[in-house]
Structure 1
Amino acid sequence: MTTTRVAVPRKGRPLEAVLERLAARTGTTELADDIISTLRYEKAVTKGNQSTDRDVYDRLSSYSTLSDPTEPEFSMLRDDRDGMPRRIVFDSVTVPTAAGEVQLIGREEPFRALRTHEFALGFDSADLVLEEVVQLRDEALTSIAEINDRIDPLDTDVRVVTGLGDTVYHTLLATPEVIDSQDGPLDRAFVANYEGEFCISPRYERLVEAILGTAALDGIGFTYPAEGVEEEAGIAATGIGVYLTVTGSTAHDHGLELGERLFPSETVLLENASERTDTSAAVAELFEAPEATALGSV
């Protein structure tokens, strides 16, 4: 049976979205739940929110079944937190499907693994695609469906196939004082008329430029939250900015009001067109939701 290797994140919301979509297509809900619960537990241990008497090597050995590829395997990385604790992360598992065996392989940066032609298929955050390869234009980038049009074919063969719907949004946030400085809603037009400091996470500079459009940024200077300061607190100190929000409760706690949802932060299926085969195309279809509209051939 043909095995298709698919690059996936090693942990976090994007990996969970992939596992849940695959479980919905193959009935492997128990397997997905096992991997997700293990990684959530290990995250809690790493953060100090969960205690255990077992050392990390003992736990790693108990989680992994090396003799059976259809059982999950985990590995260990150094976390970037203070003290660089060791963190258990996803490594691989093989799942039989109607399109052949699918081997999910954990990578720190799946998108970059596709760019270097290690894989035909992979999953990563749409945010990273915006940060890495989309062209910056005067006009704002507003949806996942627009991403491929902004990728230079000379830069990479990788394209977005579809999103998985695990959506949170990059959202405009501002204090009432800043909002009251203009008539009208807190939206892209508001930013285009605004001049002054604008707070963002430093890793999202190109992303913010893409989703606001470079024309809207005239007269605006980016600021960043101080080390150890929450993004919402940094935006509150500046008066206006962009951050990922789910319910907005933390933003409200800092006296911020929510404005326009600028762009969905979503896990996306990626394909390297030059590595495509009939089998990888069938696997890509497996991951697409029945109601989803693929973004076109790449």
Structure 2
Amino acid sequence: MRKICVIGGGRYFGKLLVQRLAEAGHEVTVINRGSTRPPAGVEHLVADRDDEAALTAALGTRTFDVVVDQVCYTPVQAAVAARVFRDRTRRYVMTSTIEVYDPATADLPAVPAGTPVTEDLVDPAVWRVRLDLPWQDAAYQDAHYAEGKRQAEAVLTRAGGFGFVPVRSAHVLGGGTQEFTGRLAHYAELVSRGGTVDVYAAERPTVFIHHEEMADLLLWASTASDFTGPVNACSDGLLDVRELSGLIASRTGREPVYRTVAAGEAAGPFSFDRHYAMSNTRAKELGFTFSRTADWLPDAAAEALGASATHTS
């Protein structure tokens, strides 16, 4: 049994992670701003993680074996967390994102098309941190999401005092209406009603992970291993948008209709004209076993389609 603090954890796979940690017998504390209560038996502390004094006061004298940070988006937030938890935990796990590898948002080394990237492409130990940028501005933060995550990883990597693991998540799907971005429902609805799926002439593949698998991986990273450093989290199998639409069609029985867009024109949320796939080799070598995207995606699409129909009826 471990003492584990989850910052956030009020929705989607974060909520599921809290449930699974509690079911596994761990002593769990959730910190959020009070909008969502954790399940029975889980300690709930109400504080704004951006307010260092309030966060410190809410924690009191508590210490933890592990902190899992679900809602760290900027280096300023990371710097607050590093100071507050320096002497309170020995391990800090942060949910990061595939978007740290997006070449459209940073000057990254070139990668051959179709080659899944490994964690060393973005090294947080040497990534430049700019705390003076307007990270508190919501519009700026949203527009610089990938860079915010890269710099947050960098701050916590260099903080010292605890082992740090940034978990770089693939596009998370599944769970019907829980998948609050609506990206899978977007494609499921288009294919099912014969709408047009926008694609690029040269589509690049990406990777996905089911929300339950993401919760399982965070549970594993928090309790089953002592590794540190970045780890990619994605199910097996690269898919481009045509292959994704084909898997949806296998459940809907209606063939996708495609429209090729011009270079530079906006397409759908999973249509990429740049490199966008990760390798999960490191996590496998450390002991985690992944599912195959092609095995669960058709069911997840059907669930998204059913949830959308229910929501709009």
Range class of TM-score, shorter chain: 0.3 to 0.5
TM-score (normalised: structure 1): 0.33
The structure showing larger relative contact order (alpha-carbon pairs under 8 Å, at least 6 residues apart) is 1
**Which protein is richer in strand relative to its size?**
1
TM-score (normalised: structure 2): 0.32
